[in-house]
Structure 1
Amino acid sequence: MPRRAGGGRVPDGRSLRADRRRVRVLVHAAVATALAGALLTGSAEAARTPPRTGFETAAGARWTSPAGERSLLAALAGRGDGASVERIGTTEQGRPLRLVRIGGRRPGALTVLLVCSQHGDEPAAREACLTMVRDLGYARDPATRDFLARTEILVIPTANPDGSAAGTRGNSDDVDINRDHIALRTAEGRAIAAVLRDHAPDVVYDLHEYGADAPYYDKDLTVLWPRSPNVDDRVRDESKLLAARYVRPAAGSAGHDSGIYGIWTDPVTGRPVKQTAGDGQERILRNAAGVKHAVALLVESRVDPLTDAERADPAVNNRRRVHSQLAGIKGLFSYVGERRGEIAAATAGSRAAGAVDRGPVLLGGADNEDPAPGDVLARPPCGYRLTAQGFAAVGDELALHEVTSRPDGDGVYVPLDQPARRLIQLLLDARASYHLINGQADTAC
């Protein structure tokens, strides 16, 4: 390299090009560092900023899309703050069934399961659940954080993805999922049964919508507890209390009137006129959950528009439907927060009763309807025997129902003295309306 006057060197062309490359590298590194910092800052900010549902973005003019749900749940799970999303099944058309888990960090936490939109043409229930999990997942106030530390919230936000995509009540096989909680023939019903078995929720809250019939049946929100006569009295009492003292008052405080699902009432006197729905058949989730020892409640928002504004603008009607569901959920959480001890005692007592109860079991009836004489097993069997072939046909379903059995010769024996005592005869007795198989009753007690 030639020298400058005064002793310095004059850079040649190669040196100049090398210097320029070094400068460019340093500049690019600085820019990359700055961009990385900006991205990290943006990611941290995004993690703190709650995402909006498609329903909220459209101000109720449209429902959240499957892609919007997927994005919202991915953001929630990516926060690394105790929330998780897992796939619990796959529908006939290949859509995922998802379970969201939030909270439950302390020993002895109560577990609450919300099942949303079993009927695909009842979207307000799903929207309320998506909004609720987002709000809980991003909450920072001490009261909510303490509630979540003591409560595990489980949510199936879209219990019928195929029906939701098609706007149909049933799934892609045209099966009503809410009539499949005994037979468990659908992927959706089996996924819900597995959650009930694996997580043993203390409370099950089932969100739906209904069509009004004015003036006798047109409340903003209707509710119903498990009517099955096989539900433990302690569980049923807690379920009725949840409806009467928490969910309905919460709806009223939010400006929504409420009633009992399936019961028409005189608009002047408020007295019951007739019952059109809401029986005790255990294949419906509110009843199945109650028989499986959970405090349970069916909650239905009114689909039909109430006012001229709602008739003129469906978005106004949609917002009211979702708002009434969110008000009910607020009542649910108040109930859980205030009655933890009573809830735990009721569900534990129901489970324990199966091992010691020797009283009658019932194949029909409801809490407001006496069973027919043939539905009362005054001297129930000790258990039921199944052939090996019979057990092969229903063994998976019995396992999902948390029914235990033991080998018995060349077959299987299902004893009645277990927590599922009041469910077993509904599954295995030929006289039960929705039994899985005809088991051989063992009366040699």
Structure 2
Amino acid sequence: MRHRLRTALLGAVTTALTATFLAGPAPAVAAGHAGPRTGFEESGGARWTTQPEEQELLARADRDSARLQVDRIGTTEQGRPLQLVRIGATRPPTADRTRHGNSVLLICSQHGNEPSGREACLSTVRDLAYATDAATRRFLERTSVLVIPTANPDGRAANTRGNSDGVDINRDHLALKTAEGRTMARVLRDYRPDTVYDLHEYGATPPYYDKDLLALWPRNLNTQDAVHEEATTLSERYVRPTVQHSGFSTGIYGIWTDPETGEPVKQVAGDGQARILRNTAGVKNSVGLLVETRTTPLTQAEKDDPAVNNRRRVHSQLAGLKGAFAFLDERRGRIEAATGAARTAGYADRGPVYLGGADNDPATDEEVLKDPPCGYRLDGAAYAEVRDELALHGVRAEQDGTGALVRLRQPLRALVPLLLDGRSADHLTVAKPSAGC
């Protein structure tokens, strides 16, 4: 029965996700239904969808589909909109429904020169908006879908990795110095998505690091065990196998492997830094996953025709999303149980907090708060400096006449020392540990 349900889901919910772009342009809407096409689709992959085309597609879907709503949730330094798309079964899910049911947040093109994830997100938004089949409706009745189609619009316009100030916003999920980082933090706080799926691209280094799609879960040691387990399951039992079944090669992000033996050679990326979104998601009790598709052309056809390369990049992203949707549908009970338990675990205020290390790199003694303080005290000036960032993260602070006390006994327990302890690499300010809360 489970196999039949999964087959139906993958065939109906993700009709567009199974359509191959390798042979040329093809409609990516649910069978038998009209809908706006992306600029990428119209050109057969010869060019990427422009911002005006993106805005037109989203506006039309918002107008045509009762189940979808597009919200402007922020503005970049150069005045471009940051948008959140909310998709439900019959109407857009509210924040309250999203917080109390299974939900996923797709974050697309944090790096402006990595467009394939954005293309996959735009066509997925369109397909979910216009689909009328029973399997899609059933899926959306049980899973709220949130999408930030372009997380870095200024970088996308300039075709740069960073935003208009040159900042890598995927290193800003703790400090929240950028408009983009602050906007994503607000979405994580207000909607509390169970799963955060982050779409990227990378340049290959043949023959050690050249898979079509790489994936990686939160390595940060503050990720609760059950959340970590679901994140590795998402990668290793759903996304990567589905991508492989679609004819693409896969691997683990950041790990070079020997092409002859498949054994690891060295790690070049993918550590446990809490400021990176996949790790921030884990620290904030969500199932996080980073996916990276290969930009480097490796076949002669891809070298001769960039459109062939572009189509392969987008299609491998769509294959990954197909696996992610199956994960969301089949394991929704386990996902909700894992994230729900992780959010309540902080109230117990027990166990160590890790200031370093990763799931494949044990923390040193200096990187472990084995007996953390019950809280951190901020004087008036320090609290004024960081109060907005604490609020954006959803960290509760108790004001008094001399400043504020931030207790660890709260859902984001592990995040508190990362933000306020002077030994943390990414602290916002140095607060005084409190022994008497």
- Same-fold status (TM-score > 0.5): yes
Say if 1:104 and 1:110, in contact at 8 Å, map to a contact too: no
Distance in 2 between residues matched to 1:409 and 1:352, nearest whole Å: 30
Does residue 83 of the first structure (1) align with residue 75 of the second (2)? Answer: no
Say if 1:427 and 1:437, in contact at 8 Å, map to a contact too: yes
Residue number in structure 2 paired with 1:330: 322
Distance in 1 between residues matched to 2:142 and 2:192, nearest whole Å: 16
Letter aligned with residue 37 of structure 2: R
Does residue 410 of the first structure (1) align with residue 387 of the second (2)? Answer: no
Q: CA deviation at 1:306?
A: 2.3
Aligned counterparts, 1:136-285, within 5 A: 136-285=128-277
Residue number in structure 2 paired with 1:112: 104
Question: Looking at both structures, which has the greater relative contact order when contacts are Cα pairs under 8 Å and sequence separation is at least 6?
Answer: 2
Does residue 313 of the first structure (1) align with residue 328 of the second (2)? Answer: no
Alignment partner for residue 34 of structure 2, among 37, 42, 49? 49
Say if 1:251 and 1:258, in contact at 8 Å, map to a contact too: yes
Residue number in structure 1 paired with 2:435: 443
Distance in 1 between residues matched to 2:216 and 2:104, nearest whole Å: 17
Which moves more between the two structures, 183-192 or 365-374?
365-374
Q: CA deviation at 1:408?
A: 3.2
Q: CA deviation at 1:357?
A: 3.3
Residue number in structure 2 paired with 1:383: 375
CA RMSD, 1 decimal = 1.3
Say if 2:349 and 2:408, in contact at 8 Å, map to a contact too: no
Count of residue correspondences: 399
Does residue 353 of the first structure (1) align with residue 345 of the second (2)? Answer: yes
Say if 1:109 and 1:149, in contact at 8 Å, map to a contact too: no
Say if 2:65 and 2:129, in contact at 8 Å, map to a contact too: no
Which moves more between the two structures, 65-74 or 148-157?
148-157
Say if 1:171 and 1:177, in contact at 8 Å, map to a contact too: yes
Say if 2:101 and 2:336, in contact at 8 Å, map to a contact too: no
Letter aligned with residue 418 of structure 1: Q
Say if 1:104 and 1:153, in contact at 8 Å, map to a contact too: no
Q: CA deviation at 1:379?
A: 1.2
Distance in 2 between residues matched to 1:115 and 1:80, nearest whole Å: 21
Q: CA deviation at 1:104?
A: 5.6
Letter aligned with residue 380 of structure 2: A
Residue number in structure 2 paired with 1:70: 55
Q: CA deviation at 1:405?
A: 1.2
Letter aligned with residue 93 of structure 1: Q
Distance in 1 between residues matched to 2:187 and 2:103, nearest whole Å: 11
Residue number in structure 1 paired with 2:88: 103
Residue number in structure 2 paired with 1:41: none
Q: CA deviation at 1:374?
A: 1.1
TM-score by length of 2: 0.90
Letter aligned with residue 82 of structure 2: L
C-alpha distance after superposition, 1:5-38 (max 9, x if no partner)? xxxxxxxxxxxxxxxxxxxxxxxxxxxxxxxxxx
Q: CA deviation at 1:55?
A: 0.2
Distance in 2 between residues matched to 1:402 and 1:435, nearest whole Å: 16
Distance in 1 between residues matched to 2:406 and 2:248, nearest whole Å: 47
Letter aligned with residue 69 of structure 1: E
Distance in 2 between residues matched to 1:80 and 1:262, nearest whole Å: 40
Say if 2:74 and 2:183, in contact at 8 Å, map to a contact too: yes
Say if 1:263 and 1:275, in contact at 8 Å, map to a contact too: yes
Letter aligned with residue 422 of structure 1: A
Letter aligned with residue 290 of structure 1: G
Distance in 2 between residues matched to 1:150 and 1:418, nearest whole Å: 28
List structure 1 runs of 4+ shifted beyond 3 angstroms. 104-109
Say if 1:428 and 1:439, in contact at 8 Å, map to a contact too: yes
Identity %: 62
Does residue 423 of the first structure (1) align with residue 429 of the second (2)? Answer: no
Distance in 1 between residues matched to 2:402 and 2:294, nearest whole Å: 53
**Structure 1, gaps ≥5 residues long:** 1-47
C-alpha distance after superposition, 1:386-418 (max 9, x if no partner)? 111111111010011110011233110000110
Say if 2:89 and 2:138, in contact at 8 Å, map to a contact too: no
C-alpha distance after superposition, 1:336-391 (max 9, x if no partner)? 00001100000001001100031111111001111122111111101000111111
TM-score by length of 1: 0.88
Say if 2:61 and 2:129, in contact at 8 Å, map to a contact too: yes
C-alpha distance after superposition, 1:32-78 (max 9, x if no partner)? xxxxxxxxxxxxxxxx6211000000000000000000000001100
Give the match's secondary structure for 2:64.
coil
Letter aligned with residue 389 of structure 2: E
Alignment partner for residue 399 of structure 1, among 391, 403, 413? 391
Distance in 2 between residues matched to 1:135 and 1:424, nearest whole Å: 40
Q: CA deviation at 1:80?
A: 3.9
Say if 2:89 and 2:137, in contact at 8 Å, map to a contact too: no
Letter aligned with residue 391 of structure 1: Y
Say if 2:347 and 2:410, in contact at 8 Å, map to a contact too: yes
Distance in 1 between residues matched to 2:110 and 2:376, nearest whole Å: 32
Say if 2:202 and 2:294, in contact at 8 Å, map to a contact too: yes
C-alpha distance after superposition, 1:230-285 (max 9, x if no partner)? 11011001000000000001101111110000000111111111100000000000
Residue number in structure 1 paired with 2:25: none
**Structure 2, gaps ≥5 residues long:** 1-32
Letter aligned with residue 203 of structure 2: G
Distance in 2 between residues matched to 1:348 and 1:104, nearest whole Å: 23
Which moves more between the two structures, 221-230 or 102-111?
102-111
Q: CA deviation at 1:179?
A: 0.1
